[in-house]
Amino acid sequence: MEAKWSVFFAVVIMLVLAVNGDDDDSVKPLVKKVKGKKVCMKGWECKTWSVYCCNQTISDYFQAYQFENLFAKRNSPVAHATGFWDYLSFITAAADYQPLGFGTTGGKLSGMKEVAAFLGHVGSKTSCGYGVATGGPLAWGLCYNKELSPSQSYCDDYFKLTYPCAPGASYHGRGALPLYWYVHCFINFHVNQFHNLQQIP
């Protein structure tokens, strides 16, 4: 069921992105050759030399008004993360990954598909809309930024010697793509971040 909503979200987002057309109003990148390869840098959004920065960046084809239209109900009174999710935060976070190829690989259409898939997945995982909700479930993406009322603490004694839980820390799903079990958090985060998970929304 969740996979169906993720795919549906991605299709809707792809259609919204496609409305932007083929106009190329992007900022021209700085270009140089390194070991025979063309690499580029493109201002704040692609601030390290990379082959991917020679392509269009996410803000070239995905604008703030599209984000607002896709996630129009994210700041409604019933949303649990009012004011947390916004276009500027998304595009700023994405800027760290664009030089690595996120949304900048294989041309505009490929980048649009990748961003649509990402936003579709995130929208479905953070939706608080259901079939009878105003606008349907797709209108309610980015409603949550953490797991509410977790059914368990996700701290397992089996791993207590290898990956000990921090005393007093609450291990539950956080963010757009939540990592639930603390072992995943330990493996994916630096140890200091692992023991200070309360600082992660």
Give the per-residue pLDDT at 31: 92
Residue with tokens 């079939």: 131
pLDDT digits (tens, 9 = 90+) for 27-36: 788 999 999 9
**More confident position, 37 or 27:** 37
In total, how many domains does the chain have?
2
178 in the same domain as 98? no
Give the per-residue pLDDT at 71: 86
177 in the same domain as 87? no
161 in the same domain as 136? no
* Domain membership flag for residue 170: yes
192 in the same domain as 124? no
Inter-axis angle of helices 108-125 and 2-18, to 10 degrees? 140
Q: Residue 22: is its pLDDT beyond 70?
A: no
Please tell me the distance from the alpha carbon of residue 76 to that of residue 127, in angstroms, as a whole number: 12
133 in the same domain as 161? no
For the chain, what is the radius of gyration of the CA atoms? 19
pLDDT digits (tens, 9 = 90+) for 44-59: 888 899 999 999 899 9
Q: Rounded to whole angstroms, what are the CA distances from 45 to 58, 105, 126?
A: 8, 15, 26
pLDDT digits (tens, 9 = 90+) for 118-155: 888 888 878 887 766 777 766 788 887 877 776 666 77
Give the per-residue pLDDT at 201: 46
163 in the same domain as 102? no
Give the torsion sign (CA, 7, 13, 16, 17): negative
* Domain membership flag for residue 112: yes
Please tell me the distance from the alpha carbon of residue 19 to that of residue 144, in angstroms, as a whole number: 28
* Domain membership flag for residue 145: no
**More confident position, 160 or 114:** 114
Give the per-residue pLDDT at 17: 54
Query: For residue 140, with 0-12 CB atoms within 10 Å meaning exposed, 13-18 middle and 19 or more buried, which class applies?
Result: buried
98 in the same domain as 179? no
* Domain membership flag for residue 18: yes
143 strand-pairing partners? none
* pLDDT-based confidence at residue 178 (cuts at 50, 70, 90): low
124 in the same domain as 191? no
Q: Rounded to whole angstroms, what are the CA distances from 199 to 25, 169, 171, 195?
A: 38, 10, 12, 10
Give the per-residue pLDDT at 78: 81
* Residue numbers of the domain that contains 38: 2-140
**More confident position, 118 or 168:** 118
pTM, two decimal places: 0.70
Nearest CA-CA partner of 17 in 59, 58, 64, 62: 62
Q: Rounded to whole angstroms, what are the CA distances from 56 to 20, 93, 113, 121?
A: 13, 17, 13, 22
**More confident position, 117 or 194:** 117
73 in the same domain as 35? yes
Give the per-residue pLDDT at 10: 58
